[in-house]
């Protein structure tokens, strides 16, 4: 029994020594884990600051946040944790590039009391120093003098007869700067031209009834472009006759355009879907726009191009904001205001120095950041 007793005593001694040493070992291990988490977080922050694009920077910041959370779990009162969190938050805000407009937003006009009810404003475009507005409830188009000296003037109404043609619901409008006129495509589809201070005139759009759908129209140079989501294409019409009496050319090659609803043209095409902005240099599709934005657009409403500054503006109805991408696809900034609760469209002045935001009950303007 004596050998057994000696062995048991030795075992007890080992257990006691281990028990006494364990707290120190655990403390040392937690300290190592804490230092590793802090070092990893700092490494990701450094990588975020040196990344070549915002999307990569955001990925690094997310990794840093995970490391900071791990460090906080190990030692909640660690001062370095709070310092790193502050650093990440500051960098993140700079990438979000949020511009709170505050008093910088001006109400141009409230529609209640100035437009005969019922009304439902759905889109706007700039031209001839005015805003042209489409109202879908009664199928009307208005011209709004931006000086604020007069109420919107009705220039088109569904059911009226223009040049022997009965007007139907307006489906899309665009300002034709080359010819100094507004173009309207109705549900016919018939193409109408409105020169300021004159009544609408039907003009030729060859093969219009062969189009599968008309999501939007735009002009660039002397040409007319028609977004046809169901055909998966953008059609180009050259000027001819009294309008666009020419064979149309498909520029995208019948691709899937999903829920495309609007587009802008500045030589390239920027096609807006419900939650995406796609960039085409026909026939090629380029990398998507708004890379690095803090969150995807939700229920997009309107797109406008500032060709001079190479910027693209998108109305984000779901996000209650106007987001901006540069032509290369990088997210630049976003504008917010409490009035952006029901965005319907966005437009830019000819020189790009004023942005207009159409909501369900009013039209607003602001001066974009340089």
Given 96, 119, 136, the domain boundary residue is 96
**For the segment 165-214, what is each residue's pLDDT rounded down to a tens digit?**
999 999 999 999 999 999 999 999 999 999 998 999 999 999 999 999 99
**For the segment 64-116, what is each residue's pLDDT rounded down to a tens digit?**
999 899 989 888 888 888 898 888 888 877 788 999 999 999 999 999 999 99
Given 46, 66, 96, the domain boundary residue is 96
Of 144, 113, 121, nearest in space to 131 by CA: 144
Predicted local distance difference test score (pLDDT) of residue 316: 98
**How sure is the predictor about 344, in pLDDT bands with cuts at 50, 70 and 90?**
very high
Measure the CA–CA gap between 73 and 65, rounded to whole angstroms. 12
Whether residues 84 and 175 share a domain: the answer is: no
Measure the CA–CA gap between 123 and 302, rounded to whole angstroms. 7
Structure tokens at 237: 């019409």
Measure the CA–CA gap between 40 and 68, rounded to whole angstroms. 9
Whether residues 245 and 117 share a domain: the answer is: yes
Residue 331 has pLDDT above 80, yes or no: yes
Whether residues 73 and 26 share a domain: the answer is: yes
Whether residues 148 and 91 share a domain: the answer is: no
Whether residues 176 and 317 share a domain: the answer is: yes
- 328: which residues sit within 8 A by CB, 6+ positions away? 310
Whether residues 91 and 105 share a domain: the answer is: no
Ordered DSSP codes for 221-240: TTEEEEEEGGGTEEEEE--B
Residue 291 has pLDDT above 80, yes or no: yes
Measure the CA–CA gap between 58 and 116, rounded to whole angstroms. 48
Rounded to the nearest angstrom, the gap between the alpha carbon of residue 56 and the centroid of all alpha carbons in its chain is 19
Residues of the domain holding 117: 100-366
Of 61, 138, 134, nearest in space to 94 by CA: 61
Residue 15 has pLDDT above 60, yes or no: no
Whether residues 143 and 175 share a domain: the answer is: yes
Structure tokens at 233: 């294409």
Contact between 202 and 162 under an 8 Å Cβ cutoff? The reply is: yes
| Residues 14-40, mean pLDDT to the nearest whole number | 70
Tell whether pTM > 0.95: no
Number of domains in the chain: 2
Structure tokens at 278: 């796609």
- 311: which residues sit within 8 A by CB, 6+ positions away? 305, 324, 325, 326, 327, 332, 352, 368
């Amino acid at each position: 029994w004596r050998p057994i007793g000696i062995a048991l005593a030795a075992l007890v001694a080992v257990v006691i020594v281990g028990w006494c040493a364990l707290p120190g070992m655990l403390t040392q291990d937690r300290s190592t884990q804490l230092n590793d988490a802090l070092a990893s977080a700092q490494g990701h922050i450094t990588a975020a600051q040196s990344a070549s694009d915002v999307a990569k920077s955001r990925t690094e910041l997310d990794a840093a946040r995970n490391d900071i959370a791990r460090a906080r779990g190990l030692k909640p009162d660690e001062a370095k944790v709070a310092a790193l969190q502050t650093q990440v938050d500051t960098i993140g805000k700079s990438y979000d590039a949020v511009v709170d407009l505050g008093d910088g937003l001006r109400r141009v006009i409230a529609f209640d009391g100035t437009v005969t009810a019922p009304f439902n404003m759905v889109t706007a475009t700039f031209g001839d120093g005015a805003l042209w507005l489409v109202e879908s409830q009664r199928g009307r188009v208005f011209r709004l003098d931006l000086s604020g000296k007069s109420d919107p003037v009705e220039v088109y109404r569904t059911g009226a007869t223009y040049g022997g043609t009965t007007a139907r619901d307006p489906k899309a409008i665009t300002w034709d700067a080359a010819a100094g006129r507004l173009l309207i495509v109705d549900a016919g589809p018939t193409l109408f031209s409105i020169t300021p201070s004159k009544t609408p005139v039907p003009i030729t759009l060859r093969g219009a009834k062969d189009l599968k759908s008309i999501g939007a129209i735009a002009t660039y140079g002397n040409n007319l472009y028609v977004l046809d989501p169901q055909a998966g294409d953008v059609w180009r019409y050259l000027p001819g006759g009294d309008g666009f009496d020419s064979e149309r050319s498909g520029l995208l090659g019948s691709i899937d355009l999903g829920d495309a609803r609007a587009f802008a043209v500045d030589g390239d095409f920027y096609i807006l879907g419900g939650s995406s902005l796609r960039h085409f240099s026909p026939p090629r599709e380029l990398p998507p726009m708004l890379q690095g934005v803090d969150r995807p657009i939700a229920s997009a409403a309107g797109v406008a191009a500032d060709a001079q500054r190479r910027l693209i503006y998108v109305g984000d109805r779901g996000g209650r904001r106007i987001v901006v991408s540069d032509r290369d696809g990088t997210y630049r900034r976003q504008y917010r205001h409490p009035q952006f609760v029901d965005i319907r469209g966005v437009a830019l002045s000819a020189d790009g120095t004023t942005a207009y935001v159409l909501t369900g009950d009013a039209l607003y303007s602001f001066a974009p950041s340089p």
